[in-house]
A and B are shown apart, each in its own frame.
Chain A
Amino acid sequence: MTDWTRRQIGGLAGGALLAVAAPHIVRGQGRAKVVVIGGGIGGATVARYLGDMKSIDVILIEPNSTHVTCFFSNLYLAGLRSLASLTFGLETLAEGHGITIIRDRAVAIDPAGRAVELRGGTRLSYDRLVVAPGIAFKFGEIEGYDEAAAKIMPHAWIAGPQSELLRRQLESMDDGGVFVIAAPPNPFRCPPAPYERASLAAYYFKQFKPKSKILILDAKDKFSGQELFQDAWSRHYPGMIEWLPSQFTGAIKAVDVAARSVVTEGETFRAAVANIIPAQKAGLIGEKAGLTDASGWCPVDPVTFESTLQPGIHVVGDSIIGGDMPKSAFSANSQAKACAFAIAASLTGSPQFPPHLFNSCYTFLAPDDAFTNALTFAPEGGRIKTVKMFISKVGESAEVRRRTAHHAVGWYSAFTADVFGGGS
């Protein structure tokens, strides 16, 4: 007969208590390991904040050595910033925040085996996985628009070579040409950005190609910040920007790359430069790993950002769905911090508090005229709900708008340091 001693019973009880306090340690595996797929805004922020905790091993998988921010890339298109000023290396995350960075691409996830397979053949095990794959495009929804067509009619919706291509095309465009922007259906990355792009392209044309026009062919009938944009267009660029909602055109059906034309239900528009921003979905690894639902996006728990489809895998950033947060860099950063603290609580027993989720975007109408919004969110009924929303108003003084533009530049500097490492 087994003789249970107090020490043995105590050991079991202690083990149970320890399992609550620090579930990873009781499994006897030493430090917990978190693998993060994607070194964009969401992935880099999760990695940085988990790394700073110094109690978890963090491995970041990213094929590119640098990240070019989509936010502020419209300033680059207008010749107001260099692409280099929007480009960030991941080395500070490795050197200053204790993160192991693997330059490779994740090609498969084994949720049952808790492992990630890399293109180079490496198989990495994890205790928790964070997937931050950003967006992918629904090529094929516009007939004739695919990856090859994007090399002639750029989307420039993932910053980098596509932004450079569009910039070159705008620079070489003859004065008097028509720049067509095809704005995508909801939901998509950075809701005000197609209209910011039109504003800043108009600023560029006004200086260098004043007879040129901008035509926005929209898949929607209204858009984010519409009143603010239309007010600015009439003040800064009268007669230069035309916006055609879906109800007028029947939306874009096809493109003809050779003819540089964009075909809607009722009309064909010739473009000197065409910027086709396609409908979007979660980044491809999300779909491959069974993290997406019928919407094409990844549903998550709004407190921990753990996938509701694949336990043990968290998703942050543009690829998630299930609430009011817009797909923006600020949202991704805010979600990533909540996610990092939730993972730490789960793996090390650290305290967890209700997340505070925020979004704030600065949008340029001209170099010295910007508007901002500020939104707060809270989890409610399994979704992320807007609690408060504030936005700049039409009719604000030029001084207020100048100050907002100035704040935007300061924000960019602090935000990118927060994401890619800097400060402490």
Chain B
Amino acid sequence: MKRERAAAVLSRAKGLAAEIRWFLGISLSATLLFPESAAPADVSQGAQIAATCASCHDQTGGGQAIPPIAALDEQAIVKAMLAFRASESPSLVMHAVALSLSDDEVAATARFLADRANAGRQP
């Protein structure tokens, strides 16, 4: 699964940072390499593909005419993308986008969007 893979990459990277810190024998803060507050919000594969969605879908969940996707859950996004992949109707644009993504990429993007929506709902 992509999330596990992304977590594994991050974990490996954090492990690398720790090893380097030990090697150097200095207090090279992990936050220098992977700063918590100043870290890239997310540069996972899902985030990179989801950046494409923002070219048409309003990221605040509003927008006119083009349906908002900011509040959809993961399964709804995957299901919609598979339907778009199968047919040119109702959207040529979404048909093209869905055809260009692998199943894994669709899953990663859906997971990213759903996680972001959930994070936005936290008090």
Contact A410 B63 (CB under 8 A): yes
List A90-132 residues whose CB lies under 8 Å from chain B.
none
A49 to B63, CA, bound (A): 20
| A394 located at the interface, meaning its Cβ lies under 8 Å from any Cβ of chain B in the complex | no
B 93-113 binary contact with A (CB < 8 Å = 1; else 0): 101110111000100000000
| A17 located at the interface, meaning its Cβ lies under 8 Å from any Cβ of chain B in the complex | yes
List B56-94 residues whose CB lies under 8 Å from chain A.
56-60, 63-66, 88, 92-93
Scoring A18, A341, A375 by chain B CB atoms within 10 A of each residue's CB, the highest score goes to A18
Scoring B58, B88, B95, B99 by chain A CB atoms within 10 A of each residue's CB, the highest score goes to B58
Contact B55 A333 (CB under 8 A): yes
Report, as a range, how many residues of chain A touch the other chain: 35 or more
Question: Count the B residues whose beta carbon is within 8 Å of the partner chain — how many?
Answer: 45
A10: contacting residue among B24, B48, B52, CB under 8 A: B24
Contact A388 B43 (CB under 8 A): no
A293 to B45, CA, bound (A): 33
A25 to B51, CA, bound (A): 26
Contact B49 A53 (CB under 8 A): no
Contact A356 B52 (CB under 8 A): yes
Contact B64 A423 (CB under 8 A): no
| B25 located at the interface, meaning its Cβ lies under 8 Å from any Cβ of chain A in the complex | yes
| A422 located at the interface, meaning its Cβ lies under 8 Å from any Cβ of chain B in the complex | yes
A337 to B54, CA, bound (A): 11
B residues with CB within 8 A of A? 9, 13, 16-17, 19-20, 22-25, 32-33, 35, 38-41, 43-45, 48-49, 51-52, 54-60, 63-66, 88, 92-93, 95-97, 99-101, 105
14 extra interface residue pairs, beta carbon distance < 8 Å, beyond A17-B20, A356-B100, A410-B65:
A11-B24, A15-B24, A21-B13, A25-B32, A53-B40, A53-B41, A54-B40, A330-B55, A337-B52, A344-B43, A353-B45, A372-B93, A374-B95, A417-B60
The 9 closest A-B pairs by CB, nearest first: A423-B59, A410-B65, A14-B23, A10-B23, A374-B96, A53-B40, A14-B20, A376-B100, A410-B64
A residues with CB within 8 A of B? 7, 10-11, 13-15, 17-18, 21-22, 25, 49, 52-55, 330, 333-334, 337, 341, 344, 348-351, 353, 356, 358, 360, 372-376, 378, 387-392, 406-407, 409-411, 413-415, 417-418, 422-424
